[in-house]
Structure 1
């Protein structure tokens, strides 16, 4: 029997299709949940683009600690990730600083964003950039964790109080920094002491403290408490958050101009810290405060 041809208009009705879901725009009140704190620790290291020290890849910066097999660059610090409003205020401060600089050779590089425009976390250092050997990594981290846990130091806030210029130990870079006021319970000095004493056990130099004082503290390394004593020196004026860097040392006039800038709302911003960060190689560990 011959097949009968049907025109398109004579097709049977198609099977009913389920209704398409409408894409719903997020309301302003519906925000994505924040990333867990450990997420940033997993991606805290930039992709290595060269196995050799090439300053041209890093804005002219020279590596302080060279790549050596078996050596692990180590840094102890407190991390601050500014919110959107805080970030805008910090950008405003850097803009004011740039407008007041008279030395045209002084080029400031912001530490707020990466070269790709990604926001970077800021920090308060509790150690120099130091080096641990492979066999020292685990025992050092356990010692530091033990001392932080048993210190009794609770979560605390700091408030920025002034702008300042500082250099690294090699005087190869200068940093525009936010100094912070001494927090309640002297938490910064106490954490600095914990970091210095822990690193002294492994023969590493202290941050801010003199080597003589560090050797004396190192002899007491078996003690796992970090209660401050009257004899301890106060390093409150040394603690800071770096905002930008330059390969050129600012002139005395430029330092005075930038240091005189009013912080505005930044001077009333409370920055909270609830853990100490230990970065060993490309691994970041969080040591919670009480």
Structure 2
């Protein structure tokens, strides 16, 4: 396991006292240290300002890539370990469950507001459905959220590294600079790939002011749609199903979302209206003002996470080939 530095320097008082102990990065086993080459300005994070002060400096972005947010508890599909959930893609020995996505770590203030929203919704629907949330782990720790750019993928040991090189090259040269997305509304989404219904925050990218396309219609989610198309193109080359798009360049509109909860039930229209009314309450108004910064894309293969930074210049400058860090 690699050791990671804090991003800030020590104070003069601390350095002038006893001997300083400088923590250095070291190459870890399984090549995890190779992640650092692509992790500059790493995780997607909120640009919302927090008033919360901390005596400790923030963890560096690369830290989040070293640990999976979920831990495998069994090598077989055992729904009893996961609140009754079943794998969308059955596990096959020698295959690597994979995912392409944008990761977001809500700030303390944002996490608190989302938790309050979920608590109010649970009170409203508890008599009819059991609602689970994605915000907090079983140990009470805040969890990262995400915007999917692929379906659940299943790569083989023989092609996982080739897939990583290909998706890295494609996104490196996407021509898309870092951008922001904003929550637009709350909705229930029935997944076509599972027996669950998700409580989602719909998100939109692009400037607040209208940007007209050739036909005079403002494009919906231009950056997200472009990234999705590129991800789907690579996925289909490896025999994987595309997300949202039956074929390339199909507009997907407001399909992009952040899931914050789930249930096995299908909420009725009245329950959906109650949920929407809760979201529109003034105390949750700040959620619609959030700007979530997208600085890069995550590719998770097995439990290893690789970060692909969006280039400020819009063009990748490095070679797409990188050392293989996923061991069979």
TM over 0.5: yes
Equivalent position of 1:8 in the other structure: none
Superposed displacement of residue 151, structure 1: 1.1
Equivalent position of 1:15 in the other structure: none
Asked if the contact 1:182–1:236 (Cα under 8 Å) also holds between the matched residues in 2, the reply is no
Equivalent position of 1:16 in the other structure: none
Query: In structure 2, the residue corresponding to 1:104 is in which secondary structure?
Result: coil
Distance 1:81 1:29 in 2: 17
Runs of 4+ with >3 A deviation: none
Query: In structure 2, the residue corresponding to 1:236 is in which secondary structure?
Result: coil
* 2:165 alignment partner, one of 134, 142, 147: 142
For 1:259-280, what per-residue CA distance to the aligned partner results, in whole angstroms no more than 9, with x for missing partners? 3321410000000010100001
Aligned length: 244
Query: In structure 1, the residue corresponding to 2:187 is in which secondary structure?
Result: strand
Equivalent position of 1:205 in the other structure: 241
Query: In structure 2, the residue corresponding to 1:82 is in which secondary structure?
Result: coil
Equivalent position of 2:127 in the other structure: 104
For 1:187-222, what per-residue CA distance to the aligned partner results, in whole angstroms no more than 9, with x for missing partners? 101100110001111111110001xx2xxx5xxxxx
* 1:278 alignment partner, one of 288, 299, 305: 299
Query: In structure 2, the residue corresponding to 1:159 is in which secondary structure?
Result: strand
* 1:246 alignment partner, one of 242, 255, 263: 263
Superposed displacement of residue 152, structure 1: 1.3
Superposed displacement of residue 99, structure 1: 3.0
Counterparts in 2 of 1:35-114, with a 5 A limit? Answer: 35-101=59-125, 104-114=127-137
Asked if the contact 1:200–1:206 (Cα under 8 Å) also holds between the matched residues in 2, the reply is yes
Query: In structure 1, the residue corresponding to 2:161 is in which secondary structure?
Result: helix
Provide the aligned C-alpha RMSD in A.
Answer: 1.9
* 2:224 alignment partner, one of 184, 188, 200: 188
Distance 2:111 2:285 in 1: 13
Superposed displacement of residue 66, structure 1: 2.4
After superposing the two structures, state which structure 1 stretch, 244-253 or 280-289, moved more.
244-253
Equivalent position of 2:155 in the other structure: 132
* 2:252 alignment partner, one of 219, 235, 243: 235
Asked if the contact 1:45–1:282 (Cα under 8 Å) also holds between the matched residues in 2, the reply is no
Equivalent position of 2:47 in the other structure: none
Query: In structure 2, the residue corresponding to 1:56 is in which secondary structure?
Result: helix
Asked if the contact 2:245–2:251 (Cα under 8 Å) also holds between the matched residues in 1, the reply is no
Question: Is there any run of 5+ residues in structure 2 with no aligned partner, and where?
Answer: 1-17, 19-51, 208-220, 312-328
What TM-score do the two structures reach when normalised by structure 1? 0.79
What TM-score do the two structures reach when normalised by structure 2? 0.71
| Structure 2 CA distance for partners of 1:30 and 1:280, relative to 1, 3 Å | closer
Distance 2:132 2:147 in 1: 18
Distance 2:119 2:71 in 1: 29
Distance 1:238 1:136 in 2: 29
Q: Which has the higher Rg, Structure 1 or Structure 2?
A: 1
Distance 2:54 2:94 in 1: 48
For 1:113-165, what per-residue CA distance to the aligned partner results, in whole angstroms no more than 9, with x for missing partners? 11111111000000010111111111111111111111111111011010011
